[in-house]
């Protein structure tokens, strides 16, 4: 078991089988030593969670939990890209979080912290990254959050 797998176990996180694409794209692409993940949504155990808008259907805190779930799904894609060995992740380079919020919702950065905090909890200093937190008028399947990442791997 890898050190990162041990850390995930300590945190009580089970990394799921990576979600299969639902359209004409792939879950991740490796170029050189970078892995780009497709946007990951709030899928857990084959079902969507956190469907709706931040600021109407969800508090900032609940939307942050949605972002954390998306980050777990990003880790699943990275694990697949690394042949099952998450110790190959050298750095989470960039994270983009999209928040399905009401027009007056303004706490996008706090929502996306759910993903950012998880990456640091799991990968330590290697999980610190550049980031964008973007408001969206809607997201696929009306999920509250979608997260994508770029990681450097060995």
Neighbours of 118 (CB within 10 A): 23
**Each residue's pLDDT tens digit, 2-52:** 899 999 999 999 999 999 998 999 999 999 999 999 999 999 999 999 999
Contact 58, 51 (CB under 8 A): no
Specify the pLDDT at position 14: 96
Write down the pLDDT at residue 17.
96
Give the whole-angstrom CA distance, residue 90 versus residue 88: 6
Find residue 92's DSSP bridge partners. Answer: 151
pLDDT tens digits along 121-151: 999 999 999 999 999 999 999 999 999 999 9
Work out the number of other CB atoms within 10 angstroms of the CB of residue 41: 25
pLDDT band at residue 57 using 50, 70 and 90 as cut-offs: very high
Q: What are phi and psi of 79, to 5 degrees?
A: -60, -40
pLDDT of amino acid 22: 86
pLDDT of residue 1: 79
Span 112-124, average pLDDT = 98
CA dist., res. 69 & res. 43, Å (int): 8
pLDDT of residue 47: 96
Task: Tell me what pLDDT residue 50 has.
Answer: 98
pLDDT digits (tens, 9 = 90+) for 19-31: 999 899 999 999 9
């Amino acid at each position: 078991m890898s050190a990162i797998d041990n850390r995930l176990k300590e945190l009580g996180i089970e990394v799921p089988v990576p979600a299969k694409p639902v359209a004409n794209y792939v879950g991740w692409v490796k170029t050189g030593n970078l892995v780009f993940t497709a946007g990951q949504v709030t899928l857990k155990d084959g079902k969507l969670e956190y469907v709706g808008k931040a600021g109407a259907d969800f508090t900032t805190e609940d939307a942050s939990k949605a972002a954390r779930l998306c980050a777990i799904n990003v880790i699943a894609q990275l694990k697949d890209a690394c042949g099952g060995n998450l110790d190959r992740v050298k750095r989470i380079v960039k994270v983009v979080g999209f928040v399905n919020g009401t027009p007056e919702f303004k706490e996008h950065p706090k929502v996306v912290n759910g993903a950012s905090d998880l990456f640091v909890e799991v990968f330590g200093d290697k999980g610190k990254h550049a980031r964008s937190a973007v408001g969206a008028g809607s997201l696929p399947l009306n999920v509250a959050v979608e997260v994508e990442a770029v990681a450097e791997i060995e």
